Amino acid sequence: MTLKFEQKPNLFLKSLIESDFLLVDQKSKKDLRHIKSFNKNKDSSLLFLDPLETVKTVKQLIRLLQFLKKQNSSVLHLVVENKQYLELAEIFFKPTQTNSLPVLVKENLPSKSFSSNTLQLLILLNFSLNNKETTFKRIFDKNIFLINKINAKFEKNNWGTYKIYNDLSDFKKLVFLLIIIQQTLIKKNSKQ
């Protein structure tokens, strides 16, 4: 039984590595605490995210999704700026019976209000959110208090949001993240 427990964390880390989720573009800031460098020779180096920090932040997202899934009334808002990525996300989260909660895929911040009894999670995929009080006030006025930002923007003030540092302009990384979200939201049959 302990063998299975030890394999799961290794499998998750292996998936992060194989998906290139840990690799970062050379133009990323090398002085950030969660970016590491591996020098192959004098002329070339490889930049990558700190595996432990990345695993921690992705697991935070998974736990948020699991918590949301257990609620009686909940909604997931997925905001994507890139129109091609928006269409891909819409395909991933078409309303089906496999999703345990509604997923609203949009290119702008949510405008529809839900009741205060509905728990809402806002996930921003490479969406530039102005760190202004008015923007956050507008989000909070919609009763959205859980926010997860996934981008490569360095932010001094995270305004109490969850953050996964990564650049999702790489298609492979985006697909990997959408699969994680989708697999977390799939309903489990009671027979399994």
* 88 and 126 Cβ atoms separated by less than 8 Å: no
Structural domains of the chain sorted by starting position, each given as residue range(s) with its CATH number in brackets: 2-185 (3.40.50.10490)
Q: Does the pTM exceed 0.85? A: no
Q: Which of 164, 162, 130 is nearest to 145 (CA)?
A: 162
> Would you tell me how many other CB atoms lie within 10 Å of the CB of residue 144?
21
- Interatomic CA distance for residues 184 and 186, integer angstroms: 6
Residues 6+ apart with CB under 8 A from 190: none
Q: What is the pLDDT of residues 59-84, one digit of tens each?
A: 999 999 999 999 989 999 999 988 88
Place 2 in a pLDDT band, splitting at 50, 70 and 90: very low
Q: What is the pLDDT of residues 17-39, one digit of tens each?
A: 777 888 877 665 655 666 776 66
